[in-house]
Structure 1
Amino acid sequence: MAAILQEAAAVDQALTCLAVGTDQLFAEEALAIGIALTAVIPFEGYDRCFEGVGLEAYRNLLARSARTVMMEQTGTDQEAFLAAGVRVADDSDLLIAVWDGEPAAGLGGTADVVAHAIACGRQVLQLNPFSRTVRRLAG
């Protein structure tokens, strides 16, 4: 992930929803190489979705974000997760998806966001953590 961020031409911001796991890893990698972080928060009170170390990391990354986009929740949490993921894809020139290629477990999962990005003609790179491959899906 760090190598892809470093190779991407003129990256001036990294957008993420700061979810536990690869979202938080992506944010840390971007910040480590000096890329400004934009946190796209699915809804007010999003921190209730975290606990323990994940909550601590979320709060730390949120405090280090150059910009925060607070989405307005108009449906279920899963609908809000999808809306936030769509916002990240829509506002990105390149979507880096750490994804095994499987369907989303619930609405708003990586598969849904990747499908949206591809449909909109965005560049999408898939980092498959199981096969340890990088594949261009679109763009």
Structure 2
Amino acid sequence: MRLGITGHRGLSAQVERMVRDALHAGLRKYDPAELLGVRCLADGPDTWFAEAVLDSGGRIEVVVPAEQYREGLPESHRATYDELLARASEVHHTGMRASTSQAHMAGSEILVGLVDRLVAVWDGQPARGYGGTADVVTYARRTGVPVDVVWPKGSTRD
């Protein structure tokens, strides 16, 4: 089973705990030997998902949206990004240089094309900028990829 993830960054510690628990619980239904998680490894749900897949015994593939993607991530997250990138069984690139919204959406489109299902840590609201979680969910649904929404009841983004 090839699972991808998209999700909101900057969630509170309380929401993070609930999302991490939900991701771990959701992965239990899959055979670890056949589980492959795909994502760009941004801070937040991307990373939590990759860690949960690896913890369950699965493998990860990474999509790098742009050559300058790592530099656009919070400095505090870069070591985690490097560690997970090194553990990827395969790395996909968009071919773009600058880490822009267009590059991020292109990376998400590649991701959606690689997976059987998409997990979305999504509050159900419109994207706050091009390439946001809602845009990725819309793209997945338009291309026929099933989407499983994870959003703890009563949670907020801000």
Q: TM-score, normalised by structure 1?
A: 0.86
Residue type matched to 2:30 in 1?
A
Contact 2:38 2:60 in 1 (8 A): yes
CA shift digits 1:93-137 (9 cap, x unpaired): 0100011111111111110010011111111100014546xxxxx
Q: Give percent identity, aligned residues only.
A: 34
Residue in 2 aligned with 1:79? 102
What's the C-alpha RMSD, in Å, of the aligned pairs?
1.9
Q: Higher relative contact order by CA 8 Å / sep ≥ 6: 1 or 2?
A: 2
Shift of the 76–57 alpha-carbon distance from structure 1 to 2, 3 Å rule, reads closer
CA pair 20-75 structure 1, distance change in 2 beyond 3 A: closer
- CA 101–71 in structure 1, closer or farther in 2 if over 3 Å, else same: same
Q: Is the 8 A contact 2:127 2:135 kept in 1?
A: yes
2:29 is the counterpart of 1:7: yes
CA distance in 1: counterparts of 2:70 and 2:136, whole angstroms: 21
Give the number of aligned pairs.
132
Partner of 2:61: 38
Shift of 1:33: 0.8
Structure 2: distance between partners of 1:130 and 1:77: 32
Q: What letter corresponds to residue 72 of structure 1 in structure 2?
A: G
The question of 1:126 aligning with 2:149 is answered yes
Q: Which amino acid aligns with 1:81?
A: H
TM-score in terms of structure 2 length:
0.77
Contact preservation (8 Å) 1:98, 1:129: no
Q: 1:53 to 1:74 in 2, by over 3 A?
A: closer
**2:28 aligns to what SS in structure 1?**
helix
CA contact (8 A) 1:100 1:128 kept: yes
Gaps of 5+ in 2: 1-22
Task: Kindly indicate whether the alpha-carbon contact (under 8 Å) linking 1:99 and 1:129 is maintained by their aligned counterparts in 2.
Answer: no
